[in-house]
Amino acid sequence: MQSIFANSRNTTLRCVIGKDGLRSFRPLLRAPAPVWFRVAEEGGPLRVGRSRARRFRASVRFAFGAAPCLRGRRGGSVGWTHMASGMRRARKPEGNGEDVVYGFGDTVLGSALAAVSPRGVCALLFGEQHKKLTKELRALYPRAQPAPEETLQCALDAARDVAEQPWRSFSLPLDIEGTEFQLRVWTALRDIPPGVTVSYAEVAQRIGAPKALRAVAGACAANHLAIVIPCHRVLRLNGSLSGYRWGRERKLRLIELEKGAARPTPEARVTASP
């Protein structure tokens, strides 16, 4: 496993797997160990406060009877693996998300669905109808089960935080699945600074596939971690607003928030465009 991190700019990611590799990770999850692949350029570190990490670990233990692999570091932070580190987990066809739980919370952008696996947050969706959000999640994880709000309180709090302040860094571990091309696109999206917008052509250039504009747009549309993977920062080549999985009105609002043109209030709820 050490070779996975050979070129990492942040060695704190090693603490997630540990020197014993997947053998030490497997009993912590009480499930078959995930398989990791190196796919892209490393991104910056993802760190969470110790208190929030403890709350997340406790909620996952309550939901699954197992705790994710955490190890404390100096300075009161915890290292996590995440998509921007250039790794992904191979989806097992037989899994169907039986280890995924989800819940709903209210945000200034409407209702949010947060879904969590033992490895981290695997989906963050926005909408107004819980049934539609559940259907969208079940298309990804057919066996995902609802959980009490208190079980997912940490993830739902994070959903509210990113909806209100999308320009800030988030503070939860991620469990992201996708094709190698999708992960390249999503990594490039996470490199776009808040307040900056780019075109699909620019994203294609950044990942070394300048002719793959349609594939880049498809990868943006396949993103199921709203705001965390900021596909809302991608516009058409002429700068006009393109489509958005969770509504064009939400996309415009997020862009304005990040550019400092507006600040959300509890009363300023945004609904999805028809």
Residue 27 has what pLDDT?
A: 39
Residues 39 and 159: their CA atoms lie apart, in Å, by 27
Name which of 137, 140, 141, 172 is nearest 154 in CA terms.
172
Per-residue confidence in pLDDT tens, the chain, 274 aa: 333 333 333 333 333 334 444 343 333 333 333 333 222 233 333 344 455 555 555 554 444 443 333 322 222 222 233 443 333 443 444 456 678 999 998 888 889 999 999 888 899 999 989 999 999 999 999 999 998 877 788 888 878 887 787 777 666 688 888 899 999 999 999 999 888 999 999 999 999 999 999 999 999 999 999 988 999 999 998 888 988 999 999 999 999 888 874 444 444 444 333 3
Distances (CA, A) of 27 to 23, 64, 168, 183, 216: 8, 13, 34, 27, 37
**Residues 6+ positions from 19 with CB-CB distance below 8 Å:** 2
Distance from chain centroid for Cα 36: 17
Q: Which residue type is seen at 200? A: Y
Q: Which residue type is seen at 242? A: S
Residues 52 and 72: their CA atoms lie apart, in Å, by 12
Residue 171 has what pLDDT?
A: 61
Residue 114 has what pLDDT?
A: 92
| 220 catalytic per annotation | no
Domain residues of the chain, as ranges?
Answer: 2-89
Residue 30 has what pLDDT?
A: 39
Residue 260 has what pLDDT?
A: 78
Residue 198 has what pLDDT?
A: 95
Cβ(113)–Cβ(163) below 8 Å: no
Residue 257 has what pLDDT?
A: 85
Show the tokens assigned to 215. Answer: 């594939």
Rg of the chain (C-alpha set)? 18
pTM here is: 0.63
Helix (H) or strand (E) holding 200, with range, is: helix 200-206
